[in-house]
Amino acid sequence: MVRQIQEFLDEIHESKRLNHSRRSVFAKFLRQIQKKLPDLTGVAVVGIATLCTSGFVLGVRQLGAFQHGELMVYDRLMQWRADEPPDPRIAIVEISEEDIQAEGGWPLSDRTLAQVLENLQRYEPLAIGLDLYRDLPQPPGHPELLKELEAPNIIAIRNASPGVNPPPSVPAERIGFNDLVSDHDGPIRRNLMSFVLNGKTNLSFSLQLAMLYLGDQGFFPQPSETQPGHIIWGKAILAPLKFNSGGYTHLDAQGFQILLNYRSRKEVAPSIPLSEVLADRLEPEWIRDKIIVIGTTAPSIKDVHYTPYSSRQNNPFMPGVLIHTQMLSQLLSAVLDGQPLFWVWPEWAEILWVIGWIAVGGTIAWLIRHPLILPVVSGVSAVGLCFVSWILFTQAGWVPVVTPLVGLAIAVAGVVAFRAYQSGQQQQIVMKLLGQNAAPEIADALWENRDRLLKDGKLPGQKLTATMLFTDLKDFSTISEQMPPEALLEWLNEYLDVLSQVIQEHQGIINKFTGDGIMAAFGVPLPRQSTVDIARDARNAVASGLAMGDRLQELNRNWQKRGLPVIQMRVGIFTGAVVAGSLGGKERQEYGIIGDSVNIASRLESCEKDRQSSICRVLIAHETLIHIQDEFFVEHWGPLSLKGKQQTVDVYRVVARRHPTP
């Protein structure tokens, strides 16, 4: 019979554990999560987040997902730059809509064009670039034009596409292609200087003009001996674009291309109307020793293109002659003035740049927890990234912006998500150990101090001053023999539920259920810093013991009506030093409280079992009395020998509160 009672008590004990402390299948699942994702340090979390985010972002970048965004940022940075003044080494003879109408339509006759060239040559330009197709005669005046085109300072154009040939009288060394290469979204951002076709090198219109002008001053392009593929030309070092230069990831980098550094969005060089040239109303300083570029700006000719400025201009198009002049001015400024050409970092440097900003995002998310401060600091970091990129852009450096921004955002979100998961995991650990058996105020305090309390998924042992409380039912063995197990379990759960509520209402923590009893603690797991706090815990414990008696009277009246047993209970309370923390191994843990104070409280509950004059007997020792004597009436029982204790303990029975709470 004794063995059956013990088995049943074990069943009750296990049932209460499941109902009140969340020690269930969920706890096992939580332990499995802990194995897979331990409590990581900040460095480890940031490192893992950086590596994972970097791998993802750089992988997506290789697929070209960020190229469009990088080009949009490039355009915006270009728009933010201040325009340079017109290039004084160049003049543009502009053929407008008014000029076309005055000359009777398009194309201009050969005689008109010959007259333009003759008038310009009179003022000794160093080079003339004719950005007009002249593969077919446009009479009258074709012989006159052919004669003018024989001048060695004239550069004509052809189109690289089949079917558009240069003027037949112009030799190949004075021909340049005027093809412009645009990106997939439309704008012209690159200067295609040369390409090889059928074993023959073809030079661009702007490059031919630059070579003619700079060669007259003794500057000739030379291949670099230290940097294969680069060209040294005066003060400039020209580096060809690669398929992954800057923000590009899938660039068609055939031929020799450089990024086009626009001089101005409108006036790249002084402009002379065609009508002024035909009327010979020219000043010598407009022409002499300069490069003269002849081309049309009339929209009806449709030689217009998108540029990085297009999204911010009322007229989004730029005529082709102005773009060629931009390219020409860029080369002259780089070779003669040392103006930097656009440069990009090597691939490894861009990778480090991206990883660095991802690490910044992860670090910020780990160090800053405030929900309002974190987005502000993250935003400041993003602005800082853009500002650094802008500063580099003003120095002709183009570095990725969208890729590190996305990486920074993902790193912040990832670490925040991990922190949220880790916080949830830590909360589950705390509540698994302390469970529903703590008052809400205690649970909140525990959660706020979780980083200090939790270490490696455990509550490390710490010495505390706490008040321990033990309860037990009188004659429970006799009652259990008289009731069916199912009814006994339901009756006992009703009783323990009431006691649990009382303990929580008085800021206590239920440490464990001992079959028909409870072990509770007041003053754990947060250490008390003053005697006032320790005294408050003692008063709460004693008050909860008296409250248990009041609630038990209500239960007994209800049980009597239902034909259930009425009972008495005992409470033992002791205040002293304990050690509290996680007990158990990796597979099974619980919040344990050990120490002599625990043993004394347990012995006070069970001592002198027959001396019970009330429905709920509450015994305390002198160590608790010194904290409560002004608030409670007590009955001195004198020094008593407790089981397992060599020295006697001065015992008191708590009778009532001196000033009952309203």
Per-residue pLDDT tens digits for 362-413:
999 989 988 899 999 999 999 999 999 999 999 999 999 999 999 999 999 9
Determine the pLDDT at residue 86.
96
Residue 41 three-state SS: coil
Averaged pLDDT score across all residues of the chain? 86
| pLDDT band at residue 335 under the 50/70/90 scheme | very high
CA torsion sign, 461 to 463 to 469 to 475? Answer: positive
84-93, 326-335, 386-395, 629-638: least confidently modelled range: 629-638
| pLDDT band at residue 27 under the 50/70/90 scheme | very low
> How far is the C-alpha of 235 from the C-alpha of 237, rounded, in Å?
7
| pLDDT band at residue 304 under the 50/70/90 scheme | very high
Per-residue pLDDT tens digits for 601-624:
999 999 988 888 889 999 999 999
Token reading at 294: 């002849």
| pLDDT band at residue 31 under the 50/70/90 scheme | very low
56-60, 71-75, 394-398, 483-487: least confidently modelled range: 483-487
Determine the pLDDT at residue 455.
56
Determine the pLDDT at residue 336.
96
| pLDDT band at residue 198 under the 50/70/90 scheme | confident
pLDDT of 276 higher than 80: yes
> How far is the C-alpha of 384 from the C-alpha of 369, rounded, in Å?
20
Determine the pLDDT at residue 658.
85
Determine the pLDDT at residue 174.
94
| pLDDT band at residue 129 under the 50/70/90 scheme | very high
Per-residue pLDDT tens digits for 465-522:
999 999 999 988 888 888 898 989 999 999 999 999 999 899 898 888 888 899 999 9
> How far is the C-alpha of 291 from the C-alpha of 123, rounded, in Å?
12
> How far is the C-alpha of 340 from the C-alpha of 196, rounded, in Å?
26
- Note the Cα 7 to chain centre separation in Å: 55
Q: In Å, how far are 434, 496, 520, 604 from 544, measured between CA atoms? A: 19, 14, 11, 16
24-28, 38-42, 57-61, 347-351: least confidently modelled range: 24-28
Determine the pLDDT at residue 318.
94
121-130, 503-512, 548-557: least confidently modelled range: 503-512
232 or 513, which is more confident?
232
> How far is the C-alpha of 461 from the C-alpha of 579, rounded, in Å?
6
Per-residue pLDDT tens digits for 77-121:
999 999 999 999 999 999 999 999 998 889 999 999 999 999 999
> How far is the C-alpha of 548 from the C-alpha of 560, rounded, in Å?
18
| pLDDT band at residue 288 under the 50/70/90 scheme | very high
List the one residue out of 411, 294, 302 whose CA is nearest residue 361: 411
Determine the pLDDT at residue 427.
65
List the one residue out of 475, 480, 479, 482 whose CA is nearest residue 8: 480
* pTM of the full structure: 0.66
| pLDDT band at residue 661 under the 50/70/90 scheme | low
The length of the chain, given as a count of residues: 662
Q: Which amino acid would we find at residue 145?
A: L
